[in-house]
């Protein structure tokens, strides 16, 4: 076998059997190797931002990494924005980036670039493969890295000559990740804080936002009077009717400061101290009061649900398993919207018509600010967000989630400006016949930037500002776009039409797009 075969076998040996790909010449030996391994599912993206965003969505739902296949520095560069989101979501991901043969780099051929410099900011781990014999070991190390901590982005650079050279090195198995127990000191500090009667927030993220862990956290909150909150952005939350009703830290600085103003103690479980998304003159960077005490209950390698169980034990919230948790959301149908079609109406329709066990992907941004609140009591679902602020994750993330969970309906709430970034992913949905309903919030502007422009105090937007913030001239036609990619679609301009079309889209299988003109 050659190095490319060795890489493919190492991925399969370590339970990575989906490869989102956009290959080029330097990866052709790896493509040939994949071709010899039908057990590897290869999913083509027509742009690298699709590839990395799909790998993110896949891993959030599959709880294991996908591989990506990217072509040289510029090809990887196209995927960096969604690698950034994945890194911020702590998504496990193994990127394979083909490069020139090692001896060819000296010639500075046109596609040559410093891949390490490009990869490092958006990767937790980067390694260049040294030879065909090094392939399997390096790949196993990448897989270990991806699965370590809260989850990590590992980038492996594969020179063409390492791929095409023969090797007899045995296929390496990455050692399974050993989750650590919560540190006794951290547990003691958190327990003391919860028992001292001060105003305490338990801030959760990562695997602490799965339904069972949330129930443990809810028991702790009920026993101690602490408040539960989720980070502003999270890779995945299990929520909806019958699950713990947990608020997120608001995106707006003022709202977040308000929500956290009385916090004397902050217990972090897989989460970071909340900070402002952007700096604004005269406003603080950290969103908890300056003298708030912070306690990190967990470290990245810790078993988060286990840490919460230990904390529940320590504060005497055990035995409460038979007691109903009052923080669970009750199911209630918010009903279908009436009146004008606006963002709130779209969200209401989604909340009302959401099928059981759906996956909501959210890149609705300004339009969807209330989407979280409106779906507390909807059918139970997973909720996947944009995590790193790099727009263009929505359509790819939904694509990847649908690959991971073919039996679940994926519902994507997508802002139009952000959706433009990686619309090529619709083609992958059509090709793979993925069960995704995409709802475009077509406000035909960068609405978030209109808000920010107001904050700057420059008054009403003039000619140049309009030219940079508005998308209405011409309005982009999402129905034509979806059709171009082979996805059926409809445009709606009334609440009644929206409800009708959405109901039928929820009932059918396969990709569908709704352009909601709001």
Q: Which stretch binds a second copy (CB under 8 A): 18-26, 55-63, 204-212, 371-379?
A: 18-26
From candidates 164, 227, 238, 316, binder to a second copy by CB under 8 A: 164
Residue among 32 and 177 whose Cβ is closer to a second copy: 32
CA distance 419 to 409: 19
Told to check if 464 binds a second copy by CB under 8 A, we report yes
> What 8-state DSSP symbol labels residue 409?
-
Per DSSP bridges, beta strands 512-517 and 436-442 are: parallel
CB of 74 to a second copy, least distance (A): 3
Spell out, one character per residue from 181 to 220, where the chain touches a second copy: x when CB under 8 A holds, - when not.
Answer: ----------------------------------------
Specify whether the CB–CB gap between 4 and 29 falls below 8 A.
yes
Considering only residues 215 through 254, tell me which ones interact with a second copy, judged by CB under 8 A.
233
From candidates 392, 394, 396, 400, binder to a second copy by CB under 8 A: 392
Told to check if 320 binds a second copy by CB under 8 A, we report no
CB of 328 to a second copy, least distance (A): 29
Burial class (CB in 10 A: 0-12, 13-18, 19+), 316: middle
> What 8-state DSSP symbol labels residue 407?
T
Considering only residues 277 through 296, tell me which ones interact with a second copy, judged by CB under 8 A.
277-279, 281, 285-286
Crossing angle of the two packed helices 72-88 and 48-62, in degrees rounded to 10: 30
Look-up of token digits 């009302």? 352
- Main-chain phi, psi angles of 134, to 5 degrees: -85, -10
Specify whether the CB–CB gap between 339 and 416 falls below 8 A.
no
CA distance 220 to 482: 47
Q: Is the previous residue joined to 306 through a cis bond, with omega within 30 degrees of 0?
A: no
Q: How many CB atoms lie within 10 A of CB 140?
A: 19
Residue among 468 and 496 whose Cβ is closer to a second copy: 468
Residue among 331 and 467 whose Cβ is closer to a second copy: 467
Radius of gyration of the chain (CA): 24
Q: Which stretch binds a second copy (CB under 8 A): 32-40, 145-153, 349-357, 405-413?
A: 32-40
Told to check if 268 binds a second copy by CB under 8 A, we report no
Q: Which stretch binds a second copy (CB under 8 A): 20-28, 53-61, 204-212, 490-498?
A: 20-28
Q: Which stretch binds a second copy (CB under 8 A): 71-79, 129-137, 203-211, 321-329?
A: 71-79
Nearest to 116 by CA among 52, 54, 159: 159
Specify whether the CB–CB gap between 82 and 39 falls below 8 A.
no
Told to check if 468 binds a second copy by CB under 8 A, we report yes
Spell out, one character per residue from 102 to 121, where the chain touches a second copy: x when CB under 8 A holds, - when not.
Answer: -xx-xxxxxx-xxx-xx-xx
Considering only residues 410 through 439, tell me which ones interact with a second copy, judged by CB under 8 A.
417, 420-421, 423-424, 427, 430-431
Spell out, one character per residue from 348 to 367, where the chain touches a second copy: x when CB under 8 A holds, - when not.
Answer: --------------------
Q: What is the DSSP string of 151-170?
A: --EEEEEEEHHHHHSB--PP
From candidates 62, 122, 190, 257, binder to a second copy by CB under 8 A: 122
Per DSSP bridges, beta strands 153-159 and 125-128 are: parallel
From candidates 173, 342, 453, 497, binder to a second copy by CB under 8 A: 453
């Amino acid at each position: 076998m050659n190095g490319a075969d060795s890489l493919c076998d190492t991925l399969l040996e370590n339970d990575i059997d989906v490869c989102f790909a956009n290959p080029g010449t330097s990866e052709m030996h790896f493509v040939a190797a994949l071709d010899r391994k039908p057990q590897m599912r290869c999913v083509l993206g027509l742009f690298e931002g699709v590839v990395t965003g799909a790998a993110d969505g896949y891993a959030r739902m599959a709880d294991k990494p996908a591989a990506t296949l990217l072509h040289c520095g510029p090809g990887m560069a196209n995927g960096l924005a969604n690698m950034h989101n994945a890194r911020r979501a702590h998504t496990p991901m193994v990127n394979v980036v083909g490069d020139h043969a090692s001896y060819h780099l000296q010639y500075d051929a046109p596609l040559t670039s410093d891949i390490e410099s490009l990869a490092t900011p958006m990767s937790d781990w980067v390694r260049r493969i040294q030879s065909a014999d090094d392939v399997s070991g390096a790949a196993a190390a990448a897989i270990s890295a991806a699965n370590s901590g809260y989850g990590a982005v590992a980038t492996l650079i594969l020179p063409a000559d390492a791929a095409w050279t023969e090797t007899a090195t045995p296929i390496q198995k990455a050692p399974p990740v050993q989750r650590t127990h919560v540190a006794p000191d951290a547990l003691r500090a958190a327990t003391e804080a919860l028992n001292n009667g001060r105003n305490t927030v338990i801030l959760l993220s990562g695997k602490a936002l799965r339904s069972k862990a949330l129930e443990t956290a809810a028991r702790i909150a009920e026993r101690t009077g602490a408040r539960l909150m989720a980070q502003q952005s999270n890779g995945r939350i299990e929520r909806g009717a019958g699950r713990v009703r947990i608020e997120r830290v608001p995106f707006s600085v003022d709202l977040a400061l308000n929500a956290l103003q009385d916090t004397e103690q902050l217990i972090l479980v897989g989460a970071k101290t909340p900070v402002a998304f952007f700096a604004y003159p005269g406003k603080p960077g950290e969103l908890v009061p300056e003298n708030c005490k912070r306690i990190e209950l967990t470290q990245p390698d810790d078993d988060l649900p286990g840490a919460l169980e230990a904390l529940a034990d320590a504060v005497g919230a055990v035995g409460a398993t038979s007691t109903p948790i009052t923080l669970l959301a009750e199911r209630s149908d918010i009903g279908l919207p009436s009146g004008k079609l606006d963002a709130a109406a779209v969200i209401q329709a989604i909340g009302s018509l959401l099928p059981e066990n759906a996956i909501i992907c959210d890149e609705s941004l300004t339009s969807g600010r209330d989407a979280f609140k409106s779906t507390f009591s909807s059918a139970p679902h997973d909720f996947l967000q944009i995590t790193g602020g790099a727009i263009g994750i929505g359509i790819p993330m939904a694509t990847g989630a649908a690959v991971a969970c073919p039996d679940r309906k994926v519902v994507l709430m997508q802002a139009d400006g952000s959706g433009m970034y990686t619309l090529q992913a619709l083609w992958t949905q059509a090709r793979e016949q993925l069960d995704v309903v995409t709802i475009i919030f077509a406000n035909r502007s960068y609405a978030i930037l209109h808000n920010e422009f107001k904050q700057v105090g420059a008054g009403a937007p003039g000619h140049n500002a309009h030219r940079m913030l508005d998308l209405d001239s011409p309005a982009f036609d999402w129905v034509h776009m979806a059709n171009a990619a082979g996805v059926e679609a409809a445009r709606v301009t009334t609440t009644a039409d929206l409800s009708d079309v959405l109901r039928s889209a929820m009932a059918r299988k396969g990709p569908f797009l709704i352009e909601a003109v709001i």
